[in-house]
Structure 1
């Protein structure tokens, strides 16, 4: 179940944030069997980039409101179970979910798939690397008898929406006039947008209009790509590693296959690209979209808004600048799949967080034949709060014994109850 808006939307009224969780609590209570079962069921709240971008006082006010509701929900809850998780954890959880769905979790590290997410506020990159990694960018994850050494990093403000807004702010900062018209290479010709610049006072609820700008589309894919690369290189001069591909941050050479999710996937879907498309396909699609005028686009895509056309013009150029110009993925390379799921399994970081939390309780080492074993019963609910909404993952075993079976055909673990 998902609900929206996300918690970050309550920045001006944090006291209202907790109430947004009530539909999730009602859903969870029904799923676990009512109030009696809820008392033995843990509930956890993990917030991501939307709250990471907020000021600490706003963050804490929102979490405090959520804790009040969770405390009174009838579920097992401790205040420390509501937190803002680091972006690197979010990336690792998504990596776990993807490899669980593929059936590679617990097997050869070199057969795992890497994951690169392009969210709204941040981007995450997680994969097994053979390079010597800086300690702050290296994480070990053990599943059964296999330990994976992962490169995991989160790039705050490098998400699609945040990057596009940063780009527009750069345009505005270069303009010396008030209420000026700014030429945006990352929007189709004929696109126009009025931007109100709001200045917020010390009070969470008070703000005032400071200025207005009009953005006018220029439809220059090449210029947009170049500007996106400059944005991605910002902070390069502060690099303290041997090399830095994104801002001041080290990224090892990408090895193996990758799953590109969220806005990578949504952009490819908009253009009608295949899951295994190359970056050359993004270049061609982006050039065609950006160069068209708005009247043509409105006629061709009657169900899309003007802002959608601007978003995907920018996104196509930004994706090429990120993956090819920054991370070195060849334009004709097809080892990246653009999708939000593997088979029938939706790749959500919340699923990976759930697996990470219960793995030591229910799984025998997959290296010893992946046979089933008995484990103590577990009642757990994981509540993940996303930038655009919430996702609830539930699992419950009523019997005191369970067993784990590895399904060779589907390539995944199945948890069943023992009678």
Structure 2
């Protein structure tokens, strides 16, 4: 009976209980569009890593919210479809306790630089609209480029499990020297681009580019920088502005010529630090693996560079030269399901990504293979939104939990092992009890 009880306890200890979950909603208000993400996690495991997962993504129809500066009355309609979708996904009983956050990025940063009052009016209109729903609206704000880079870095490493170690029952205490090395984050949007990673020597010469985190009992000194107007859409505008000699620009389909034109966007003629990216911005030596997401991934996916290991620079250049040289009518026939606006920009976008990574951030043939183009990790979109929500809901603890529960399989194994030991002891005990003379004879 004791054995049966032990095994039963082991099997039922981690039995799935009735679902008790929480939800969170984040709207990513980018320069070209807005997306809504709904996250879900077990309520009793708020401080454990790897339990938050994305369950829904909804893309709002229309441009980024900065484009509504002159038509504020249309913001309600703009938000309606995806917010109604959120009310359907999140159980009605949990609407009032489900937080909703809206973070605006580089498109709104640019609007704020141009007209701060108008930017405030856009955010106020968005806030009024979101407050009409029965969720726990937590505010709409413009996040800084540094925050965007940091939250993207947190998202990648959180989803990859880089902040914590899974402890085995044979080694219940993690080795401080065996910490998993984090990934760097490469984010490319429409109006800005961010690079974030932990430098090998932890030395960051520019204080404005330094972030310090303590996550799960470990300290991280992180380098990050956001280049405003170097997202793919704004970079195209910069390039066209430099190219304009007449009022009409005629594409030639020459990839190398396009790339040479793009390189003029990166001023590498001066550097006030020991090492720079471009425009005099400090950049430590690149280190480790990097996850490249957002527009990096979308463009590379279109060019079929995401289905296997990162292709060589030579192969990517060869593909770009072939793609860019195709006649427009031929491209439209080959990619009839792609919107012409996007199709017309893939030549530039691909050339820009290669130029930014190679000439802007100085990836080399050796470090290039460490770039991984990522769309999703474990069904969650890679981007800054998950890191943003984790930070605002305090779900990333500063210290490692005092005790880490054993996995279900390990727990069952131990219970069975101890049960077998109990059986063996019981058998020996019974044998001694029924034949004590046998043992006394041996002793004599």
In the alignment, which residue of structure 1 is the partner of 2:122? 62
Compute the displacement of 1:84 (Å): 0.3
- The alpha-carbon distance between structure 1 residues 309 and 38, as it changes in their structure 2 partners (threshold 3 A), is closer
Q: CA offsets per residue over residues 359-396 of structure 1, 9 Å max, x none?
A: 45x75844755449xxxxxxxxxxxxxxxxxxxxxxxx
Distance 2:291 2:179 in 1: 16
Q: Is the 8 A contact 1:109 1:148 kept in 2?
A: no
Aligned counterpart for 1:248 among listed residues 265, 268, 280: 280
- Name the counterpart of 2:183: 113
Structure 2 Cα separation of the partners of residues 335 and 46 of structure 1: 30
Match among 93, 101, 104 for residue 159 of structure 2: 101
Deviation at 1:306, TM superposition (A): 5.0
- State the alpha-carbon separation in 1 of the partners of residues 124 and 80 from structure 2: 15
Distance 1:44 1:344, change over 3 A: closer
- Give the secondary-structure state (helix, strand or coil) at the position aligned to 2:322: helix
User: Residue 262 and residue 280 in structure 1: after superposition, are their counterparts in 2 closer, same or farther (change >3 A)?
Assistant: farther
Q: Which residue of 2 aligns with 1:132?
A: 203
Secondary structure, counterpart of 2:282 in structure 1 = coil
| Native 8 Å contact 1:283 1:316 kept in 2 | no
Please list every run of 5 or more consecutive structure 1 residues that lacks an aligned counterpart in the other structure.
181-212, 373-404, 409-419
Deviation at 1:31, TM superposition (A): 4.3
- Partner SS for 1:21: helix
Assess if the C-alpha contact under 8 Å between 1:364 and 1:371 holds in 2.
no
- 1:330 aligns to what? 364
Any conservation in 1 of the 2:163–2:216 contact (CA below 8 Å)? no
Which structure would you say has the larger RCO, counting Cα contacts within 8 Å and 6 or more residues apart?
1
Residue deviations 1:105-148 (CA, integer Å, cap 9, x gap): 23566611111011111111111113421211011122221221
Q: CA deviation at 1:167?
A: 0.6
Indicate how the Cα distance of structure 1 residues 4 and 308 shifts in structure 2: closer, same or farther if over 3 A, else same.
closer
Residues 240 and 407 of structure 1, relative CA distance in 2, 3 Å threshold: farther
Structure with the greater alpha carbon radius of gyration: 2
Partners of 1:262 and 1:19 in 2: CA distance:
26
Aligned to 2:59: 2
Aligned positions of 1:324-363 closer than 5 A: 324-331=358-365, 333-360=368-395, 363=397
Once the two structures are overlaid, the 10-residue window that deviates more, 269-278 or 45-54, is: 269-278
* Residues 28 and 75 of structure 1: CA distance in aligned 2, closer, same or farther (over 3 Å): same
Match for residue 390 of structure 1? none
- In the alignment, which residue of structure 1 is the partner of 2:26? none
Higher strand share: 1
Counterpart position of 2:332: 298
Instruction: State the SS of the aligned residue for 1:298.
Output: helix
Matched length: 332
SS of equivalent residue, structure 1 residue 231: coil
**Partner residue in 2 for 1:202:** none
Q: CA deviation at 1:304?
A: 3.8
C-alpha distance in 2 between matches for 1:72 and 1:306: 37
- Contact 1:14-1:58 at 8 Å conserved across structures: no
**1:231: which partner in 2?**
265
Q: Relative to 1, partners in 2 of residues 1:369 and 1:37: Cα closer, same or farther, differing over 3 Å?
A: closer
Measured in 2, the distance between the counterparts of 1:46 and 1:285 equals 36
Would you say the 8 A contact 1:106–1:145 is kept in 2? Answer: no
Counterpart Cα distance in 2 of 1:145 and 1:157: 37
SS where residue 279 of structure 2 aligns? coil
- Contact 1:324 1:331 survives alignment (8 Å): no
The residue that corresponds to 1:141 in the other structure is 213
Mapped partners of 2:299, 2:81: distance in 1: 30
Q: 1:249 to 1:18 in 2, by over 3 A?
A: farther
Q: Distance in 1 between matches of 2:65 and 2:409?
A: 38
Normalized per residue, the structure richer in helix is 2
Q: Does the 8 Å contact 2:197/2:222 carry over to 1? A: yes
- SS of structure 1 residue aligned to 2:336: coil
Q: Which structure 2 segments of 5+ residues have no match?
A: 1-57, 166-177, 411-444
